[in-house]
Amino acid sequence: MKVDIKKFLKMLEMVSVDWEIDTIYLDFSEDGIVAINSDPAMTILSILKSPKSSYPSYEPIGRVVISNSIVKRLKKMFRADEYVDMSVESDQLVFKGASEYFTTKMPTFDRESLQIETVGEELWVKKIPINGIYQVDLSEIADVVSGDTVSFKFTKDNVYLIISEETSRYEKVIKPIAIKMPVEREFTNTYDSKLMKTLADLVTVVTVAVTEGGPIQISYVDKVINYAITYALSPRVVA
C-alpha cells in the first residue's frame, strides 16, 4: 500500500502521545487503520481511526507493530519522499521510497496477552454511558500546566483544570466553546502534569466526554490528515 509518509508518521506520533508510549499496535483492516495502545502504567489509552479513503492505494495488510525507534528512523530516512510503499513480507515490515529502502522484523502481535485489548472492549464495545460533553480549546492551558498533578471539575457553565502541588492548589477556568451535555462533577483522579501538557501541545479544539464511573475521554478530529483519535485518561480507574 502507498502512504503519505509525513502524514502517516504524524498519526503515529499522536498515538504515542509524543513518544510517551513506546510500541504502537496497528490493525490494517478492510475499512482502514485502527491504532490502539497504552503506556505500561495505563495512565492513558490511545485509539486512532483512519479510513482507507485517506490513502492513494490501500491494502488490508493485517496487524503491524511499530516501535518509536523505528518511527524516528523513518522520519530521518524518508525526508525527501512524499509517498512511500509499505508492505508486510513474511515477518518483515517493509518501507520503500524513491531511493531508500527499510525493512525490520516485527515483534509478535500477541492479542491474547495484550492488556489493552480487554480495556479497549470495555470502553469502545460496551460503550460506557456518557454524562457530560464539552468542547474546549486545550491550547489555552499549555502554558499553565505545571506542578505535580492535574485533575478536572465540570459544572453546567465551565470546565476547571485543577493543578495541585504538595501544599497548594490552583484552578484554571477553561471556558467551553460549546456544551452539549452539562454535568456537575469533580474528579478525584489525578493525572501527571507532563502528560496533560503534552496533550495540550498536540491538540487544540477537542471534545471532552465525562463517562459514568469511568475515565475522561478527550477526542480530536484532524480533517486535513483525516483521522479521529480518542485519549482515555486512566482507563482502568473508576472516578
pLDDT in tens, the chain (239 residues): 999 999 999 898 888 876 667 778 888 989 999 888 777 777 788 889 999 999 989 999 888 888 888 888 898 999 889 999 999 988 889 999 999 999 988 766 555 444 444 444 444 444 567 889 999 998 878 777 776 788 889 999 999 988 887 788 888 898 999 999 999 988 877 777 777 777 888 888 999 988 776 678 889 999 989 999 988 887 654 43
CA distances to 4, 111, 128 from 65, in Å: 19, 11, 28
- Residue 177, pLDDT score: 94
Could you identify the residue written with the cell 489525578? 190
One-letter amino acid for residue 102 of the chain: F
- Residue 110, pLDDT score: 53
Residue 135 has which C-alpha cell? 468542547
Residue 114 has which C-alpha cell? 495484550
Please indicate whether the domains covering 2-125 and 130-212 agree at the CATH topology level.
Answer: yes
Could you identify the residue written with the cell 453546567? 156
Task: Decide if domain 130-212 falls under CATH 3.10.150.10.
Answer: yes
Name the CATH topology of 2-125.
Answer: DNA Polymerase III; Chain A, domain 2 (3.10.150)
- Residue 203, pLDDT score: 82
Whole-number Å distance between alpha carbons of 228 and 1? 21
- Residue 114, pLDDT score: 44
Q: Is 61:1 a contact under the CB 8 Å cutoff?
A: yes
What are the structural domain ranges in the chain?
Answer: 2-125, 130-212
Could you identify the residue written with the cell 480530536? 220
Predicted model pTM = 0.83
* CB proximity list for 115: less than 8 A, separation 6 or greater: 38, 42
Q: Cα–Cα–Cα angle for 206, 207, 213, nearest 5°?
A: 135
